[in-house]
Structure formats: structure tokens, C-alpha cells
A and B are shown apart, each in its own frame.
Chain A
Amino acid sequence: MFSRNHRSRVTVARGSALEMEFKRGRFRLSLFSDPPEDTELQRKLDHEIRMREGACKLLAACSQREQALEATKSLLVCNSRILSYMGELQRRKEAQVLGKTGRRPSDSGPPAERSPCRGRVCISDLRIPLMWKDTEYFKNKGDLHRWAVFLLLQLGEHIQDTEMILVDRTLTDISFQSNVLFAEAGPDFELRLELYGACVEEEGALTGAPKRLATKLSSSLGRSSGRRVRASLDSAGGSGSSPILLPTPAVGGPRYHLLAHTTLTLAAVQDGFRTHDLTLASHEENPAWLPLYGSVCCRLAAQPLCMTQPTASGTLRVQQAGEMQNWAQVHGVLKGTNLFCYRRPEDADTGEEPLLTIAINKETRVRAGELDQAVGRPFTLSISNQYGDDEVTHTLQTESREALQSWMEALWQLFFDMSQWKQCCDEIMKIETPASRKPPQALAKQGSLYHEMAIEPLDDIAAVTDILTQREGARLETPPPWLAMFTDQPALPNPCSPASVAPAPAWTHTLPWGRPRTFSLDAVPPDHSPRARSVAPLPPQRSPRTRGLCSKGQPRTWLQSPV
């Protein structure tokens, strides 16, 4: 029996023909059963399926190894997105079904649980240090062993990838330029990061392999892959501990291996660079193994929507400070950690300064009802903040009981969001919209700094600046933070500086250098060389025990050694 507003359910029996069609990507969900979010997801799924077909064709047409690597990467990313979207669709259907069967129309139902607002999560400046062994680094053999690497990032059902970078032993770090943004994250997000690598050189001499690979992938997923598809559809949607990408079922062609992975959560979010540990996933025997140091540096920022968009607005009357009977009418806008009170509603958009700004943070207390017994002033709420020893209370009158309810509700939601998003609500973290990715430069060989900058004579600043201006228009209006290395006031009480180089003396006469000697750090070295060593033992300063290298208290010496 059909009722007008009742959505029909769609279930897929395991092992049915419909399920097989699901897997082949040729299904079509009925129009009558799709809520709007699902049609959006469906559209994305169709898009990925088309992209996948295109990638297969491209792979078949590739002649060069590097193009094949790019095409294989696109193909694998499409595959993983398809799986992820299909899993999400299935989960949503199941949730719909369960939701309906659990509740009867006659129940009033419990009040909806409060859910935190969504936010934007952006990860950028990703850098993975490498750790080449001595022998590898300094060998000057002819052929350079090269790898192609990229990062795959998954949050919820969204998967994004970085550009592919070619790595060889002249690089000390793998640095990705991409800025990856996820728009609909909750505070309980799990951002899974995976590093995939493949050898640029052929693993085996197989010609004609790409064509076979393409036909095999485009027609079916193969038996072992099919098992994995089913497993991922059955699991509760999260990627769990299994890698996001399907292993390539084929024959020849470039093959990407999972090299390392990690999962980042809200605790890792900070408005600055942080280093996180990577779980290494491959061994030396693996052809694509890279000597990873074991960590990844990045900037993970999050902007909850409550901080960037107004959550409530309306007319309020504010009690003027010191004037008990004089209440000013303002247009209040609740945004982020402030309640802005503007003279007129238009001022909020034009950027005019508000008449009054009331801070709302974790320690703010809000109460509905009358505090000071203002006669004839119903529907008031009061907001109290503690500033040092003083408590400042603002009393606001709303227009009606419903308005008071909605303001209180908005404030409660804001407090809840702040408790969930934690450090992201202290201050708005800046997120740059990622620029559209430049098309991959197929043969751009990533040289290291050593090979790119040839400077002669040794001290030519002009040559350096020429090269720098050619490379990128650096933004140099404000002094960059690294200049702080040259000031005498370092940030922490543990002053440590990189090794400094003193200018070379004139070589007019021979000096009895001898072999450089090792001196213990605390000892005052005997004055061998004609150049005086400046070692000034300061009176011992008993500083509190600090972490790190200088655990003996403040360093008291400035050693110099000839090299």
C-alpha cells in the first residue's frame, strides 16, 4: 500500500543479480526513492565511472612509463572513489530502513540529539623526510633509481589525492604542493593518509601489458577484487585498517604499493606545522620500498562553520551600561565566539563597526530570565563574562518568547559546538582555497637544490637573488619568521642555534693546524691555535631542567673549531 509522503525502501539482497549490477557500476536507483543528498552522491558516482573508463583508455594508449604511472594513479583513485561512494549509498539506504522500522507514527519520539556543526578541514604543506644511507647518497653511479609517489587522503566517503612526485636519492624530503580541503567534516573526523609508491623503471620486461591491463580492468573486477568489494560494502563504511586502494589485478603495467599510512584526528589540528608518526607498511624486499624517516610534517587546520558563519541574528534591546532605564535597540548577530550588536541590520554586511561586541566562549555563562528585575521587560537573557576579577554582565531583551527560545537554542548549540571542536574554536584558523591543480608535468625531473643552483663566485648575492626571482614571486613584504634566527632573543628559554660559520681568514701565512681535535663540551680547551677561542665560562646559572639536548642547564660556551 502506498501512502503519499512515504518513501519506498530499497534493499539489495546479497548475491542477487542487483548486487552484481551494483558491482559492475551499471545500476540505476529508482527516482522515487532518492532523497536529494543521494542524487548528489549518485551523480558523483556516475562521474567517477566515466572518469574510470577514460583512464582505462588512456592507459591503453600510453607508450611512456611516466604517462602510464599517471594514468594508473588516476585509475586507482577512481576505483577507490567508486567503492567508497557505493559503500556510502548502501549505508544510507540501510539507515533509512532502520530508521523507519524503529519508530511508530504515534510516538512523539525523543528530542533529536544535538549534533555538532560541520567544518572545513584542510591539510597542506605535506612533507615526508627521507633517510638515505651514506653509501646510497654519495655514490655517483650512472643510473639514478627513481620512484613515483603520491598521497591518498580519505575523510568519510571523500577521497582526494595529491599530485604525483618523482623521487630519487638527491631529494631529502618528499614535498607535496597540494592543499587538500574536505568540506563536510565533523569534529570526530578521521583523516586517513596513505603514501603509495611505484618504481619508475620497469619491474619486468613486459611489453603490450598496458592494453591487457586496460581491457581486464574495464570489464570486471576479478575474483579477489570482487571479494574485497563485497567486504568493503559489508563493513560499516569506514576504511578500517585495510588500504583504500584495490591492488592492481593485472599483468604488467606500473604497480603502486602502499608504503606508509597514518590517521589524523581533531587532536592533530593546529594552526601551524606539526610532525606526526607514519606507520611504515612495506619492507626492503618490496620493489617500491623507499627509506622513509618515519614521520610526516604538515599543517592540519579546521574551520568549524559556527566560527565562519552567523548562527543566529535578530533584533535585541541592550541595556546600556550605567543607564538602568535606557535600552538601545540593536541588530544582534551571533558568529563565532562573539555576539555582535550592530546599529542597523545593514551594518553587518557593510563591514561597519558594531556598537557593542559581547564575547562568548567556554567560560561565558548565559541565563534566561530577568536578573535585575527590570520592570516591564520580559523575555530577557543575560550573558556574563569574567575578566580577571571583574564580572561583566550584559542583559539583552528579545522580541518575544519564541525569539528568546531561539536565541537560547542558538547559544546552547554554540556551546556544544565549542565543546566538540575544542581548539578550533579559540580562533579562526586560516584556510587557503586550494588553487586548481596544474596538469602534471610528465617529464619534470625534480632536481635537488644542489643541481639547480650553480653559483660562482662563492659570495655572489646578486646571482642568488636572480635565481630566486626567476623561480617564484615570493611574498616578501613582512620579514619572514626565519630571520628571527639572527636576533639575540630566541623564543624559548632554551637557546639553541644552528652551527654558525665564521668568515675565512686571509691565508697569508701557514698556520699550525694539525689534526682537528675533539674537546669535551664542558672543558675549557687549551689555547692551541693562534686564533683565540672564545670560551667564557659564565657563573653557573641554575635554570630549571629543560627538555632536549641541553639537559645540563643553560649552555655556557661558544666553541669554535677549525675545519
Chain B
Amino acid sequence: MSYIPGQPVTAVVQRVEIHKLRQGENLILGFSIGGGIDQDPSQNPFSEDKTDKVNGWDMTMVTHDQARKRLTKRSEEVVRLLVTRQSLQKAVQQSMLS
């Protein structure tokens, strides 16, 4: 089974809430993001988490620049992410069996 980019996908997600840190005069999150719909996914060294939503903004169809902009808004102190990762599926399955 595969998914087709641009078609809706239902996934198991985890909500993550991050309060930005203050560094100098900037508010930062403290990690990096990679990828985007305009990037080549075969060069992804991590292939771990994928971000579906940032503060309500849909991130499944964004370019790298758009993603970065939405995470670095100066006016927001808190970022709420909906994240999906492969290990979520295994974890849910295991909890179902037990």
C-alpha cells in the first residue's frame, strides 16, 4: 500500500507542545527541521518524525521555506505540533494486544 502525495491521509499522530526558548532577542525552538514538499526525501538521514500540523496550519503540503516560517513566527511563544512517527504504529499495536 502506498500513499499518493496530495491525497488526504489519515494517520496516528501525537500532539506535541513546545514553549520556545529565549536566546538573546530571538525565540527559538532548539531543533532543526528538514525536508518539505519541494525537497528530495531520499536524502533524509533521519526518516523519523513527520509533522502534520503546526498551530493549526497544515504542513503536509508545504515547502521547506513555508515550514520554517510557520515555526519561527516571532509573535508565538508556544508551538503546537501534530507529529506522526513510524514507531507510533508499533506501540499502538502492542498496547492493543496486551
A residues near B (Cβ < 8 Å) are 127, 132, 137-138, 172, 272-273, 275, 297, 449-450, 453, 455, 458, 461-462, 464-466, 468-469, 473-474, 476, 479-492, 494-505, 507, 510, 513, 515-516, 518, 521, 531, 534, 536, 538, 548-550, 554-563
A and B contact pairs by CB, cutoff 8 A, 12 listed: A449-B82, A469-B95, A469-B96, A496-B38, A496-B61, A497-B35, A497-B37, A502-B33, A502-B46, A504-B31, A521-B64, A557-B43
- Of B7, B37, B83, which is within 8 A of A501 by CB? B83
B15 touching A450, Cβ below 8 Å: yes
Distance (whole angstroms) from the CB of A447 to the closest CB of chain B = 12
Q: Given that A482-B11, A555-B39, A558-B34 are known contacts, is A499 also in contact with B67, CB under 8 Å in the complex?
A: yes
Report the nearest B residue to A518, measured CB to CB. Answer: B65
A497 touching B86, Cβ below 8 Å: no
Chain A residue numbers with a CB within 8 Å of B15 are 449-450, 453, 455
B32 touching A464, Cβ below 8 Å: no
Report the nearest A residue to B9, measured CB to CB. Answer: A482
A-B contacts counted at CB < 8 A amount to 233
B96 touching A502, Cβ below 8 Å: no
Chain B residue numbers with a CB within 8 Å of A486 are 47, 50, 86
- Of B11, B16, B37, B91, which is within 8 A of A480 by CB? B11
B56 touching A132, Cβ below 8 Å: yes
- C-alpha spacing A501/B81, complex, angstroms: 11
Please give 9 more A-B residue pairs, beta carbons under 8 A apart, in addition to A272-B7, A486-B47: A275-B8, A485-B11, A498-B61, A501-B33, A507-B30, A516-B72, A531-B32, A534-B43, A534-B45
Distance (whole angstroms) from the CB of A176 to the closest CB of chain B = 15
Q: Given that A474-B96, A482-B84, A503-B48 are known contacts, is A561 also in contact with B35, CB under 8 Å in the complex?
A: no
Query: Chain B interface residue count: which class?
Result: 35 or more
Q: Given that A476-B96, A536-B43, A558-B35 are known contacts, is A500 also in contact with B50, CB under 8 Å in the complex?
A: yes
B2 touching A560, Cβ below 8 Å: no
Chain B residue numbers with a CB within 8 Å of A132 are 56
- Of A172, A468, A502, A549, which is within 8 A of B63 by CB? A549
- C-alpha spacing A113/B26, complex, angstroms: 76
- B residues 16-61 near A (Cβ < 8 Å) are 16-18, 23, 26, 28-53, 55-56, 58-61
Chain B residue numbers with a CB within 8 Å of A563 are 28-29, 31-33, 68, 71-72
- Of A480, A495, A503, which is within 8 A of B42 by CB? A495
Chain B residue numbers with a CB within 8 Å of A559 are 34-36, 39, 64
- C-alpha spacing A547/B30, complex, angstroms: 35
Q: Given that A479-B89, A561-B33 are known contacts, is A450 also in contact with B28, CB under 8 Å in the complex?
A: no
Distance (whole angstroms) from the CB of A300 to the closest CB of chain B = 14
**Proximity bits, B83-98, A CB within 8 Å = 1, else 0:** 1101111011111100
